[in-house]
Amino acid sequence: MTSTTPPIESRPTFKVHQLNAELARICNPLFKSFGVDLITSRILVIVLEQPNIGLGDIVRLMALPQSTVSHQIKRLVNQDLIARTANLTDKRLFSLQLTRQGAAIAEACNHLSQDIYTRLFRDLSTTQLQSLNDGLTLMAQCLTRLETQEIDPATYRSAQ
């Protein structure tokens, strides 16, 4: 690792931010036709792919605060897209399932997502796509380790 940090627009962390912003800009108008946005569509597809998943698992997968995911789930329950079932052994926990309407929207979102994925990565070889995925996985692992380290923001404050 070099001691010189590149300008912000050349940092992989900023590139990830730009990619997510671009995905939202392109995808939100498309997902809007299903009555959802990019984040909501991701939650629906997660529940489609993993029926009976718990809230904590969605929080972990989405890397969002529990309060944000809880709010999204509550909204999806109120829209009759997701149903919650209490855990038989621990009433504080519940699992999530798609309703009939939720399953239809999740399927449509998943097909649209797959189409976007195919178009986005069609110019990459299998090896390039695997390398990209490996690099992003490594970044996520490094962020997980970084989270457990003490970082004092005051260290970086310039003298005023």
Report the alpha-carbon distance of residue 32 to residue 36 in Å, rounded.
Answer: 5
pLDDT of 90: 77
Give per-residue burial for 70-96: e unless 16+ CB within 10 Å, then b.
eebbeebeeeebbbeeeeeeeeeeebb
How many domains does the chain divide into?
1
Report the alpha-carbon distance of residue 118 to residue 152 in Å, rounded.
Answer: 42
Evaluate whether residue 53 is within a structural domain.
Answer: yes
Tokens coding 34 = 């299903």
Q: What is the DSSP letter of 157?
A: P
Could you tell me the residue range of the domain that residue 38 belongs to? 20-144
The pTM score is 0.85
Q: What is the pLDDT along the chain (160 residues), one digit of tens a residue?
A: 446 889 999 999 999 999 999 999 999 999 999 999 999 999 999 999 999 999 999 999 999 999 999 999 999 999 999 999 987 777 778 999 999 999 999 999 999 999 999 999 999 999 999 999 999 999 989 888 887 777 888 888 775 5
Put residue 102 in one of left, alpha, beta given phi > 0 → left and psi -120 to 50 → alpha. alpha
CATH number for position 115 = 1.10.10.10
Cα dist. 125→50, 52, 116, 118, 132 in Å?
A: 28, 35, 17, 12, 11
pLDDT of 119: 95
pLDDT of 2: 47
Evaluate whether residue 14 is within a structural domain.
Answer: no
Evaluate whether residue 5 is within a structural domain.
Answer: no
**Residues 6+ away with beta carbon under 8 Å from 151:** none
pLDDT of 160: 54
Query: Which residues face 80 on adjacent strands?
Result: none
Evaluate whether residue 151 is within a structural domain.
Answer: no
